A and B are shown apart, each in its own frame.
Chain A
Amino acid sequence: MRLSKAWLIAVRDFKIFRHQKNVWYPLIIFPVLISLVFPLVIQFASSRSGEAFAARVPLLLDSFSMFLVIGAAFVPLGIASYSIVGEKVEKSLEPLLATPITDGEILLGKTISAFLPTLVAMYTGGTIFMILNDVVTFPMLGYYYFPNWTIGVILIFLMPAAIVMSVEVSVIVSSRVNDVRSASNFGILMFFPFLALYIASELQLITLDINMFLIISGIIFLVDIALFFVSTTTFKREEILTKWK
């Protein structure tokens, strides 16, 4: 596996994405929404609930942090689906497969091309999320809640693992469909496990603290490994040329 070859694929995809505005919308809109909506919600709630609300703020912030993970799972769907489906539509994989590059290098390049823009977008959104929440909650808490170890686990472990999972699912789904929208619609199923975790925390069935985030990170990491093997089985040149629809 030569990283330099995978990087060439990723750089080419970045150049292609420049001309596909649709690919960029989720990368911009979702992180902006997360970073702005939740500080506003806290500001609004605190103005109506008064001092009693302050005690609930840390728990709320940890729960809201879960939306960074949901975003990480959701945002790459479009870009990853386009990366594969776009090649299918243009039939540009065949000449590429006839070059001295391995299937694994192409797949890694595709993964990088969806992973990096998502990570940059979500880290940017996460940073704004932390700053604005700190600004809003400092008067209630008397200290800056972010950064802390919990958000550290989310940013360093959980978010990248969720992005990889989303990309791998997109690769698998993209091999079976012929348009980006269908691929994204299937991939959107990714959204639900994370939403279920958030709802479970709101129903106080689980507590979204650092330990829970570490456990979730571990589970997603194992899922990533399983999906990687499935996607490498799907992304084989003979499969691509003879069985992909």
Chain B
Amino acid sequence: MIDVDGLSKKFGDLTAVDDLSLHVNEGEVFGFLGPNGAGKTTTVRMLCTLISKTSGNARISGYEIGNKDDSLKIRKLIGLVPDNVGLSENLSAYDNLDFFGKIYDLPDAQRKESIQRFLEMLGLWEKRNVLAGTFSKGMKQKLAIARALIHDPQVLFLDEPTANLDPEAAKTVRDFILELKKEKKTIFLNTHNLDEAQRICDRIGILNTKLVTIGTPETLESEIRGKRTVIELEQVTDPVLKSLQKLSLTNMNVEGNKIEFDAVDSGNKNWSVVEAIVLAGGHVNLVNVEGSTLEDVYLKLVGENQ
């Protein structure tokens, strides 16, 4: 669906995006994480054919960005919610959507049906004739998403859709994105919000001008440090330690009444470890498998690439 190969963008001497390569599958929700100035918005703008690339290639559904003939075709396939919602504030919610429906040449009946469907879905139908400028931030954001979806695009680009929203409005927008995910819409999501990325995205790329890493939230979490098994005992006794040493646990560490070791094939291993402890007279209070969080991964990788 989206193929990016060695894409770069320079503004004078400043490199905004450097040698970016990635692939987003059809129906996938791809999250793009990175600090301010990492090049996330620049990447989206290049993919949406809003600004030119300096080098490299990118294709959306086989159409090449930077190719003049393909640019209009790409813009028919995509929907964009920019970081600033960019609504016409002196137009009603209905007129905002109606205008974009006409720009995409939607037939009258289809346009009206789509507008009603989205406004109802987002709880804005009753306010369809109210000027968008009077809406709350959350309502504006929802209207902007509806505007980007009015022509049923194959790919939806969302540039920080929950930034500056209060928690309730952010949740409404996130829930709507999850609804779109169920409909198998291909979504390219720029976000600062790690929790949001973890909950919504199938895969995540971390960008800091260059692509630092890419993978599923789970693989990224285990990228820094593998999962660790933590067993809490009432008391760590010598017989217990001796019996565990026979099991050759990797990176075993004892701290107070806790024993930690790398969790490889944690299901079987943990069972045999617990059995050894009990046979040595130990009392197990808790067995837990812990990993690094996405936040740990993000902070480490972005920090390394500053």
Contacts and interface: CB of A to CB of B under 8 A. Distances in A.
B89 interface: yes
B23 interface: no
Interface string A4-18: 010010001001101
Interface size bracket, B side? 20 to 34
B106 to A, nearest CB: 12
A100 B86 CA distance: 17
Interface in B94-120: 95, 99-100, 102-104
A92 B73 CA distance: 21
A49 interface: no
A56 interface: no
Contacts, number: 78
Contacts of A241: 45, 50-51
Interface string A65-99: 00000000000000000000010001111111111
A98 B78 CA distance: 8
A90 B45 contact: no
Interface size bracket, A side? 20 to 34
B147 A90 contact: no
Contact of B51 (A12, A15, A101, A237): A237
Q: Is the interface of B mostly helix, strand, loop or mixed?
A: mixed
Q: Is the interface of A mostly helix, strand, loop or mixed?
A: helix
A242 interface: yes
B207 to A, nearest CB: 19
A95 B144 contact: yes
Nearest to B87: A92
Given A98-B78, A238-B52, A242-B11, A90 B86 contact: yes
Contact of A15 (B81, B95, B148): B95
Interface of B: 11, 45, 48-52, 72-73, 75-76, 78-82, 84-91, 95, 99-100, 102-104, 131, 144, 147-148
24 contacts: A15-B95, A86-B90, A90-B86, A90-B88, A92-B87, A94-B80, A94-B84, A95-B80, A95-B82, A95-B100, A95-B144, A95-B147, A97-B50, A98-B48, A98-B50, A98-B75, A98-B82, A99-B103, A99-B104, A100-B73, A100-B103, A101-B103, A238-B51, A238-B52
Interface of A: 5, 8, 12, 15-16, 18-20, 86, 90-102, 237-238, 241-242
